[in-house]
Amino acid sequence: MSFQIAIDGPAGAGKSTVAKRVAAELGFIYVDTGAMYRAMGLYFLDNGVDTDDEAAVNASLDGAEVTLEIVDGNQVVFLNGKDVNGRIRTEEAGMMASKTSAYAENRKKLVAMQQKIAASQNVVMDGRDIGTVVLPDAPLKIYLTASTRTRAERRYKELLEKGQEADLAAIEKDIEQRDYQDMHREHSPLRRADDAVLVDSSDLNIDEVVQKIVTYAKEKM
């Protein structure tokens, strides 16, 4: 039987950093489901799919093959055989992912892949609906959040460190818009599962959050 840790929460709460570290400490595989929605977002962009038109999005889905590979312990995402790991990190890909992840058929395709990955190996999986929809029976569920300002500042620093241009006010606005879209959509809106542990990382550093989650996991394993 595999063991699953589901980590959900809003954009920029530190989910991927934390999930990656927790997975490394426990020897689990880390699965970043947001990267899969981002890769689909890129597919729609690259192919000029009108993403206001749900039927057009649905009709295009079969042309996109998203696959994950673990290279040197890190997840690499491929879209139709091409490595898109760098391209999925732009704000444009994030907004496109948020918009098109509202469509049920797009979600269905990716959720099936995610469930298959988690069925056969120990995983730390992060996203928006992991504890509520993808892995409702996961033995450990975490809802990781932080204030909007804290999250915007973190993403701002991340972009600057990568040498990219960044505008703090614009990032905060994007985060608010993305949260609103993710929490108010009809299908699988972002919400804390009833049995998820709430962790607010506003006043905790990464080590503290990681240790908290590893401790919970060891209690349950």
Nearest distance in Å: CB 204, ligand C5P:
19
Dist. CA 174–CA 112, nearest whole Å: 29
Here the tokens at position 202 are 């506003």
**Is 128 among the residues that bind ligand C5P (CB under 6 A)?**
yes
**Is 145 among the residues that bind ligand C5P (CB under 6 A)?**
no
**Total chain residues near ligand C5P (CB under 6 A):** 14
Q: Which is nearer to ligand C5P, 172 or 182 (CB)?
A: 182
Q: Which is nearer to ligand C5P, 11 or 193 (CB)?
A: 11
Residue in the block written with tokens 């909007």: 148
- Exactly one of 141, 155, 178, 212 binds ligand C5P (CB under 6 A); that residue is 178
Within 7-36, which residues bind ligand C5P (CB under 6 A)? Answer: 11, 33-34
Q: Which is nearer to ligand C5P, 28 or 94 (CB)?
A: 94
Exposure string for 102-119, b = 16+ CB within 10 A, e = fewer: bbeebbebbbebbeebbe
**Is 129 among the residues that bind ligand C5P (CB under 6 A)?**
yes
Q: Which CA distances in Å does 35 have to 169, 199, 203? A: 24, 22, 26
Q: Which stretch binds ligand C5P (CB under 6 A): 44-52, 91-99, 162-170, 192-200?
A: 91-99
Known binding residues for ATP: 9-17
Nearest distance in Å: CB 219, ligand C5P:
25
N- to C-terminal Cα separation, the chain: 11
Q: Which stretch binds ligand C5P (CB under 6 A): 127-135, 137-145, 161-169, 192-200?
A: 127-135
Q: Which residues bind ligand C5P (CB under 6 A)?
A: 11, 33-34, 37-38, 94, 97-98, 101, 127-129, 178, 182
